[in-house]
Structure 1
């Protein structure tokens, strides 16, 4: 009986130990299966995200190539409308200068004149135009200066004061000075004023305008009416040259 009881106890102990081992083994097997399933799902999601990144964002149906609303992206860099035009970099003052009409170039010397003579003739023509004189008045004035000073701004050898001003030669006809050989002692103006070609021209033309019907007078008569020269007939010889000079300036747009 004692032996039998010992055997029964041993068998009971062995059964109890087996029962403890089986649940433990079953419990360890379930977590292993769950972990494998989670790892499989994580790998599948990672692969899916990799494919999405490689493929890029999907186009919306309305933006698919070939659809009416599809637009092609432009290359990197500013668009043509954003690029400054050449005129956008030009300042307003520079644009005005560029748009301003060019001044007419001086004509080449004509009628055998030098450049200095042409420059003085230009002053006569320009001054006459500013005063509103017609072509005939300009021709009379240039021809008169040709006779009186050969179209040079001449100082007087007997009037040292006149030599203090810019001049192109010295004459000896009393105190006569300038392009028209006008005399301060006769009331034409101050010496310094008469040495100014523009002032001298204005004085001559103002006196010419006071001659009744001067436009219709022969050139020599019109000039003599102003100058009261001892040689009144000499003005006429310069008419053709004076006409050529005046026409050259007028053709140049003066």
Structure 2
């Protein structure tokens, strides 16, 4: 093997060596000689770096590098130490997920079975012929229910008849308040009975009791024979409706009241209702007239020259009042 002088002409500061090394045909040293070369180079490197290591800056940098290396090693170890725990956690989560999936599948299967069962039960009643007659059976009552509305017009007609009936009753009842048509009693004429009815109606409207009504009828029977009389001595009285004429001073009307005595105007005294109202007002002014006889009460109002003449009409007046009450 050819040899080559090493370091004969070296000027890199490394002491030349007189040893020769074997080289391969390609120009590369063998293994043993290579190690020697590397050892020599390492020694030279240490010699050069030793002054650098002696400075404070180099030491601080070296310490910092060492600390960084130690920290990196600790981090790697910590990660490696937490790996089993994470692995265990992942395994537990996987097992839990598998169990949940199994439970979900079980629930889904149960629901499917229940759904199939419900479907079967749903189809069973539809196929059964019994429900069809039941549904058909209620159908007949439907027309029966439709039939009653057709009968509704009948009640309406009945209601119309009922409405007509009260109308007739009202029409029939209307004439009742008119006592002018009351049939005469006690030998009176219809005109006398009509005047008596006016007197009674006026007294009732004023709240006069029945005994006062009898006093008024007896008084009119005696004074005018229950006729609305005018007076020839008072020509104005002839201008109003009358049933004859009298002649006593200026007395007129049913009660032969005198305008000169303050009973009222000729027109008022010739009006039967007003004349009766004035009589009843005068009667109420008599204290204790209810306890007097019919004739006594009449005389207290009329102050007649014949005070006992009113008594003869008491029975007939009572009959007339009872017929009109």
Report the TM-score range of the alignment, normalised by the length of the smaller protein. 0.5 to 0.7
Distance 1:233 1:71 in 2: 88
Contact 1:62 1:70 in 2 (8 A): no
Larger Rg: 2
Distance 1:69 1:235 in 2: 88
Q: For 1:149, which of 224, 241, 251 is the aligned residue? A: 224
Asked if 1:81 is matched to 2:81, the reply is no
Gaps of 5+ in 2: 1-131
Give the equivalent residue in structure 2 for 1:229. Answer: 304
Question: Which of the pair is proportionally richer in helix?
Answer: 2
Give the equivalent residue in structure 2 for 1:160. Answer: 235
- Matched length: 189
Distance 1:68 1:116 in 2: 76
Question: Cα distance, 1:71 vs. partner?
Answer: 2.9
Distance 2:227 2:153 in 1: 61
Gaps of 5+ in 1: 1-59
Question: Cα distance, 1:160 vs. partner?
Answer: 1.1
Question: Cα distance, 1:220 vs. partner?
Answer: 1.4
Root mean square deviation of aligned Cα: 2.9
TM-score normalised by structure 2 residue count: 0.52
Question: Cα distance, 1:204 vs. partner?
Answer: 0.7
Structure number with greater CO (CA < 8 Å, separation at least 6) is: 1
Contact 1:124 1:201 in 2 (8 A): yes
Structure 1 stretch displaced more, 84-93 or 125-134? 84-93
Give the equivalent residue in structure 2 for 1:125. Answer: 200
Contact 1:221 1:232 in 2 (8 A): yes
Give the equivalent residue in structure 2 for 1:205. Answer: 280
Give the equivalent residue in structure 1 for 2:140. Answer: 70
Aligned 1:28-107 pairs, distance under 5 A: 61-62=133-134, 64=136, 67-71=137-141, 73=143, 79-83=150-154, 85-86=156-157, 89=160, 98=169, 102=173, 103=176, 106=179, 107=182
Distance 2:282 2:143 in 1: 80
Call closer, same or farther: CA 1:171–1:89 in 2, change over 3 Å: same
Call closer, same or farther: CA 1:171–1:132 in 2, change over 3 Å: same
Distance 1:148 1:159 in 2: 17
Distance 2:301 2:185 in 1: 26
